């Protein structure tokens, strides 16, 4: 297993959300799609067209180049921006208004659509398969991840992007899906992989070079979702300065173990608060309690032009905002230590410190 940041984040997510390794098997005999429904050709064609445009874009090239270093939060925002961007606009419209493509409403009409990666490596809980961003017709969104233990997926460390069409809405995607059939267009290389749930067509992946073949048929796949919310975690655009949050240290905790996270904003504009980590928080305690959790290598890089404001949340307590400026660092690669010190009452005091470095000016 490649020990990438994404895989580390997924392992932490599995622990946080309480996911356990599923029991999967290979089915005997032919499967039965009771309804006989198929993905409408109009949706497949629209997905193929959107994928071709996206794969030809700089955003796709940047994604594939950055993949070995991407965090789960980075992957989330990149796929969210892509799926909700111009390349997939027509496809999303067809999802919400089937009459646009003259789609038969008696056919398979998905309630959710995803843009993800068909990863040719173990992602989580021993599963190899797919991970990506999913949004439903009610605009509820999250991340999905899953696959199979032996799914006819080629050996390797990465795959390419795919569009997923899901029968259910976000919140109801978890479960075992059985691989039904793979249809590969010899001329274009476009692959359509169909999956059943309760003997009904429930999921179809469409993509190019998915690295999935007939070995997936009659094989159990397990997919589950992580509802990440829609709080922004990535700052779009460019800025003059970049600052990296290096190491957080717990000096005096609020409780025995605190769950902490940041909100931050740039240039005095608090109309948009960015959050890190993307969900929940990082558990910390004092060194005398457990040295493993007394420091946190944060790693977040924040953009700003004139100032950067940080808001630290410790459990249910919010510390005072702190603001740093370019002059605070004394030049490129300069570092500062920012301290938070807050008395909850006459007896309890919360103390944390954070090392911050200016990495571009």
pLDDT digits (tens, 9 = 90+) for 168-214: 998 899 888 988 877 777 677 788 888 988 888 999 999 876 666 55
pLDDT at 1 over 80: no
- pTM of the complete model beyond 0.85: no
pLDDT of residue 157: 34
pLDDT digits (tens, 9 = 90+) for 16-51: 666 677 776 676 766 667 777 888 888 888 999 999
CA–CA separation, 64 and 118 (whole Å): 12
Domains of the chain: 5-226 (no CATH), 241-360 (2.60.40.1110)
pLDDT at 151 over 60: no
3-state secondary structure the chain: CCCCHHHHHHHHHHHHHCCCCCCCCECCCCCCCCCCCCCCHHHHHHHHHHHHHHHCCHHHHHHHHHHHHCCHHHHHHHHHHHHCCHHHHHHHHHHHCHHHHCCCCCCCCCCEEEEEEEEEEEEECCEEEEEEEEEECCCCEEEEEEEECCCCECCCCCCCEEEEEECCCCCCCCEEEEEEEEEECCCCCEEEEEEEECCEEEEEEEEECCCECHHHCCEEEEEEEECCCCCCCCCCCCCCEEEEEEEEEEEECCCCCEEEEEEEEECCCCCCCEEECCCCCEEECCCCCCHHHCEEECCCEEEECCCEEEEEEECCEECCCEEECHHHCCCCCCEEEEEEEEECCCCCEEEEEEEEEEEEC
pLDDT of residue 228: 58
């Amino acid at each position: 297993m490649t020990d990438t940041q994404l895989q580390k984040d997924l392992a932490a997510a599995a622990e946080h959300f309480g996911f356990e390794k599923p029991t999967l098997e290979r089915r005997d005999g032919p499967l039965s799609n009771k309804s006989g429904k198929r993905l409408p050709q109009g949706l497949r064609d629209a997905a193929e067209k959107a994928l071709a445009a996206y794969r030809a874009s700089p955003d796709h090239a940047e994604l594939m180049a950055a993949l070995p270093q991407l965090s789960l939060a980075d992957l989330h925002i990149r796929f969210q921006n892509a799926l909700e961007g111009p390349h997939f606009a027509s496809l999303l419209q067809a999802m919400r208004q089937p009459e646009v493509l003259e789609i038969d409403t008696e056919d398979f009409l998905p309630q959710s659509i995803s843009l993800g990666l068909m990863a040719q490596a173990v992602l989580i809980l021993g599963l190899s398969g797919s991970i990506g961003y999913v949004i439903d017709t009610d605009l509820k969104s999250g991340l999905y991840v899953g696959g199979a233990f032996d799914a006819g997926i080629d050996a390797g460390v990465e795959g390419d992007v795919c569009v997923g069409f899901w029968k259910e809405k976000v919140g109801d995607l978890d479960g075992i899906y059985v691989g039904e059939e793979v249809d590969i267009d010899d001329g274009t290389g476009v692959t359509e992989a169909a999956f059943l749930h309760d003997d009904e067509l429930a999921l179809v992946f469409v993509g190019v070079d998915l690295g999935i073949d007939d070995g997936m048929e009659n094989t159990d796949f397990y997919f589950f979702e992580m509802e990440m919310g829609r709080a922004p975690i990535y700052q779009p655009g460019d800025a003059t300065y970049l600052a990296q949050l290096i190491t957080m240290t717990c000096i005096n905790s609020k409780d025995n173990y605190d769950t902490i996270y940041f909100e931050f904003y740039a240039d005095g504009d608090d109309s948009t608060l960015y959050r890190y980590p993307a969900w929940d928080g990082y558990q910390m305690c004092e060194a005398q309690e457990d040295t493993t959790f007394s420091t946190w290598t944060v790693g977040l890089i924040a953009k700003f032009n004139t100032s950067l404001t940080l808001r630290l949340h410790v459990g249910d307590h919010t510390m005072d905002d702190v603001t740093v400026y370019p002059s605070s660092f004394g030049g490129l690669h300069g570092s500062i230590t920012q301290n938070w010190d807050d008395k909850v009452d006459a007896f309890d005091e919360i103390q944390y410190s954070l090392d911050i470095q200016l990495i571009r000016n």
